[in-house]
């Protein structure tokens, strides 16, 4: 859960890194995202989603739910707190009625043990967004590699996460699954 004493620090971090003021729609999406059980129990909280939905900030509080037996940040909490956000940013920036993003793989490299509140800044640039949408229209599928750095308030890196998100046309995916079940 959020520690009430560190909330001001989290809001100061957001003010330094935000792209624009959150809109009513992105605030609603962020709040719904935070109450989904698999994200809620991971310890991570989405504290900012840009109005154009291309940038998100996740905070990972240092509390009894996210530390290990040695008093350091539990690596699984770091990983699970940031895991769904990479795919969510892709989902919000594609035609989700036509295409389906699926997590393909994830890797994490731990740099140093954490002993304070950590943040993950995820950003999908306009060039990447245009490339994804163009490739999806032409080929029907795309592999998006999302790189996430888990940092503290001073931007000191604690872990590097690389997620691969497979995006595919729903019709193509259904026909592929149907072929596998027939064989």
Domain ranges of the chain: 7-182
Average pLDDT over residues 21-40: 83
In degrees and rounded to multiples of 5, residue 98 shows phi and psi of: -105, -30
pLDDT bin (cut points 50, 70, 90) of residue 23 is confident
150 close to 86: Cβ distance less than 8 angstroms: no
For the domain bounded by 7-182, which CATH number is listed? Answer: 3.10.129.10
Q: What is the pLDDT of residues 109-154, one digit of tens each?
A: 999 998 889 999 888 888 999 999 999 999 988 999 999 999 998 8
Of the pLDDT bands very low, low, confident and very high (cuts 50, 70, 90), residue 167 is very high
Q: Is 26 strand, coil or helix?
A: helix
CA–CA–CA angle 161, 84, 46 (5° rounding):
95
- What beta strand segments (E) does 54-140 contain? 55-60, 99-110, 118-123
Query: Of the ranges 6-10, 43-47, 118-122, which is most confident?
Result: 118-122
DSSP state at residue 23: P
Q: How confident is the model at residue 17 (pLDDT cuts 50, 70, 90)?
A: low
The radius of gyration of the chain from alpha carbons, rounded to an integer in Å, stands at: 17
Q: Which residues contact 39 (CB under 8 A, 6 or more apart)?
A: 33, 46, 81, 84
Confidence at residue 20, expressed as pLDDT on a 0 to 100 scale: 67
Predicted TM-score (pTM) of the model is 0.81
Tell how many helices (H) and how many strands (E) occur in the chain.
6, 6
């Amino acid at each position: 859960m959020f520690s009430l004493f560190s909330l001001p620090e989290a809001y100061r971090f957001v003010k330094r890194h935000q792209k624009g003021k959150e809109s009513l729609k992105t605030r609603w999406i962020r709040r719904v995202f935070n109450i989904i059980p698999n994200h809620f129990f991971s310890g991570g909280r989405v504290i900012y989603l840009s109005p154009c939905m291309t940038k998100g900030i996740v905070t990972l509080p240092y509390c009894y739910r996210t530390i290990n037996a040695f008093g350091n940040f539990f690596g699984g909490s770091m990983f699970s707190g940031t895991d769904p956000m990479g795919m969510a940013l892709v989902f919000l920036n594609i035609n989700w009625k036509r295409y389906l993003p699926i997590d393909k793989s994830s890797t994490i490299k731990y740099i140093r043990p954490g002993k304070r509140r950590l943040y993950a800044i995820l950003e999908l640039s306009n060039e990447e967004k245009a490339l994804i949408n163009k490739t999806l229209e032409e080929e029907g599928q795309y592999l998006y590699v999302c790189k996430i750095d888990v940092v503290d308030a001073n931007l000191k890196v604690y872990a590097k996460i690389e997620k691969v998100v497979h995006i595919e046309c729903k019709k193509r995916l259904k026909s592929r699954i149907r072929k596998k079940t027939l064989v």
